[in-house]
Structure 1
Amino acid sequence: MAVGLVMDLVAIVTLAYGLYYRRHHRRDLLFAYVALNVGIFAVVSLLLVQRVDIAVGFGLFGVLSIIRLRSDEITQQEIAYYFVAIALGLVNGIAGATWPLTALLLDVVLLAVMYVADHRRLLGRTRQQIITLDVVHADPDLLRVDLEARLRAKVLHLVVTQIDYVRDVTVVDVRYVVPHARVGTR
């Protein structure tokens, strides 16, 4: 179990501090990822020693994850980090003691995938944002022109999610590409 714990701690520190925090700078989620991972490792290790049905453990993790994910608004990217934190805890808790090389290989694969998939060079110029405008545009082309002027970027896709004619407000979900000079501002 000690080998699995060491591998798990190295993996979660790499994910949480090395990848997530350096890219997204949310201290609250960094703590949540580490705590969730270590908690899952501890429970899985206990379940393996006590010979409780593994389905009970997975059910417990599912309930805890749903409660946590529903209690705060987070992005799909952050949910992916949650999932990998859970997977690292499970991999190292289950396979760390009996198959350490398999666990190590899976840790490396999970971390490498997250490194590449969330790298700013991959899709770094593409952004998504919910924008509230202080105007209602009847013409979709004028809406696109207005958004491009405000964002100083090319709009790829937009969906109007709300229009309020009383307050003269439009809420738009926008996908856009920032110019090359602004790529580093993530």
Structure 2
Amino acid sequence: MKAKQPTALGCLYDHYGSVVYGVALKVLQSQPEAEDLTQEIFLSLWQRPVDSAKHGHLMRYLIVMTRSRAIDKLRSHSRTLNLVQRWGQNVTAAPPAPTPVEQAVFNERSQQVRQALAQLSVQQRQAIELAYDAGLSQSEIAQQLNKPLGTVKSWTRQGLLKLKQLLRDSID
């Protein structure tokens, strides 16, 4: 193995492959994952040959290494699954119903916005409503109103600035 002779790896695989695969399968409970781990173990052995003086019997070393990496894979799967489950819960969880106070504040603000919108010019209000209520782009608004894009942008900007000022004044 230290001389990087492929035949040496083949001999070791023939001799210990079924043991490594068996340990991996017992821990992982999945044939494809056990096959992948067996390949990883022998690839690792090829890349960093074992000094038998340091590790004792090669079979014990391979069993311990396989078991350890299989457990690491299970832990990794568990962390990933927990993350996905938590993320899924956060995404699918419905927002809590607003409290009566929150609902009252929302209603009051909605009324203030409606009153401020009523003070804008017809063109400004129309451009803002098409953009925010209908979700249209500036280009789509220009097409729908049959007006130049620059004009629509100007109406929207001037309307938003005036709306900002009106709302700021209503808070003070």
Whether these two folds match at TM > 0.5 is no
Higher helix share: 2
Higher strand share: 1
Larger RCO (alpha carbons 8 Å, 6+ apart) = 1
